[in-house]
Amino acid sequence: MNAYLKNLSVALLALSLCFSFSHTLHLTFAKSSTQLGSRYAVPQEEIDADDNITKLTASYSAVGGYTVYNWYGADTTINNIYEAAYGAGHTYSISFYIGHGNVRTVYLIENHYDIMTDDGTWVPDDWIYPHSECQNVRFVFMWSCHLGDTIDGTHFWSGPYGMPHCWLHTTDLSSDGYADSDDGGKAFLGFAGFIWGLSDYLAGDEVYEFLSCFYFASLCYGASYSVNDALDYAAQNVWHVPSFADTYLYKGYNYTYWDPEKMEMVTIYGQMKVYGDGNIHISNFRPSCAMKTGTDGVFYVPNVAISLLKIEMLFNNSDIVGDQTGGTSPYSTISEWPDGKVDLTDILFVSLHYGTTEGMSDWDYMSDIVPDGKCDMADYLAVSLNFGAFGTYIEVTGVTVTFNVGGSKSPDSYGFVEIPQDATSFTVKRNGIPIGAMVIFW
Residues from 226 through 245 that contact other proteins (CB under 8 A):
229, 232, 236-237, 239-243, 245
329: contact with other proteins by CB under 8 A: yes
Of the candidate spans 61-69, 308-316, 382-390, 428-436, the one that interacts with other proteins by CB under 8 A turns out to be 382-390
Give the number of C-alpha atoms closer than 13 A to the C-alpha of residue 154, restricted to the C-beta side. 7
104: contact with other proteins by CB under 8 A: yes
- Looking at residues 288 to 327 of the shown chain, list those that interact with other proteins (rule: CB under 8 A): 325-327
One of 200, 296, 372, 376 touching other proteins (CB under 8 A): 200
Instruction: Tell how far CA 153 is from the center of its chain.
Output: 31
17: contact with other proteins by CB under 8 A: no
Measured from the CB atom, the residue of 66 and 216 that comes closer to other proteins is 216
Cβ of residue 267: shortest distance to other proteins, in angstroms?
12
Whole-number Cα distances in Å, 197 to 50, 76, 365, 392: 9, 18, 46, 42
158: contact with other proteins by CB under 8 A: yes
CB 388 within 8 A of CB 412: no
Cβ of residue 73: shortest distance to other proteins, in angstroms?
15
One of 195, 211, 308, 313 touching other proteins (CB under 8 A): 195
Measured from the CB atom, the residue of 171 and 345 that comes closer to other proteins is 345
Measured from the CB atom, the residue of 98 and 291 that comes closer to other proteins is 98
Cβ of residue 320: shortest distance to other proteins, in angstroms?
16
Measured from the CB atom, the residue of 363 and 400 that comes closer to other proteins is 363
156: contact with other proteins by CB under 8 A: no
One of 30, 52, 77, 106 touching other proteins (CB under 8 A): 106
List of E strands, 280-389: 289-292, 298-300, 308-315
Cβ of residue 393: shortest distance to other proteins, in angstroms?
15
From 340, 338, 436, 319, select the one nearest 387 (Cα to Cα): 319
- Looking at residues 341 to 370 of the shown chain, list those that interact with other proteins (rule: CB under 8 A): 344-345, 347-349, 351-352, 354
Measured from the CB atom, the residue of 38 and 293 that comes closer to other proteins is 38
Measured from the CB atom, the residue of 205 and 418 that comes closer to other proteins is 205
- Looking at residues 55 to 84 of the shown chain, list those that interact with other proteins (rule: CB under 8 A): none
Q: Is 92 helix (H, G, I), strand (E, B) or coil?
A: strand
51: contact with other proteins by CB under 8 A: no
Cβ of residue 130: shortest distance to other proteins, in angstroms?
18
111: contact with other proteins by CB under 8 A: no
124: contact with other proteins by CB under 8 A: yes
Measured from the CB atom, the residue of 143 and 442 that comes closer to other proteins is 143
Q: Tell me the chain's radius of gyration from C-alpha atoms.
A: 26
The count of chain residues that interact with other proteins, using the rule CB under 8 A, is: 89
**What whole-number distance in Å separates Cα of residue 14 and Cα of residue 291?**
36
Sign (positive/negative) of CA torsion 72, 73, 75, 78? Answer: positive
Measured from the CB atom, the residue of 107 and 156 that comes closer to other proteins is 107
Measured from the CB atom, the residue of 30 and 103 that comes closer to other proteins is 103
Whole-number Cα distances in Å, 335 to 131, 222, 285, 286, 369: 44, 18, 16, 12, 16
CB 221 within 8 A of CB 214: no
Q: Which residues contact 127 (CB under 8 A, 6 or more apart)?
A: 78, 82
CB 400 within 8 A of CB 435: no
- Looking at residues 387 to 416 of the shown chain, list those that interact with other proteins (rule: CB under 8 A): 387
Whole-number Cα distances in Å, 77 to 97, 121, 304, 415: 12, 9, 41, 30
209: contact with other proteins by CB under 8 A: yes
- Kind plus residue range of the DSSP H or E element containing 9: helix 2-29
List of E strands, 38-121: 67-70, 92-98, 101-106, 110-116
Cβ of residue 427: shortest distance to other proteins, in angstroms?
28
- Kind plus residue range of the DSSP H or E element containing 213: helix 204-215
- Looking at residues 252 to 271 of the shown chain, list those that interact with other proteins (rule: CB under 8 A): 255, 257-261, 268
Measured from the CB atom, the residue of 9 and 335 that comes closer to other proteins is 335
Of the candidate spans 18-26, 63-71, 138-146, 290-298, the one that interacts with other proteins by CB under 8 A turns out to be 138-146
Nearest 5°: the CA angle 273, 276, 277 is 115
- Rounded to 10 degrees, the C-alpha dihedral 53/417/393/332 comes to 70
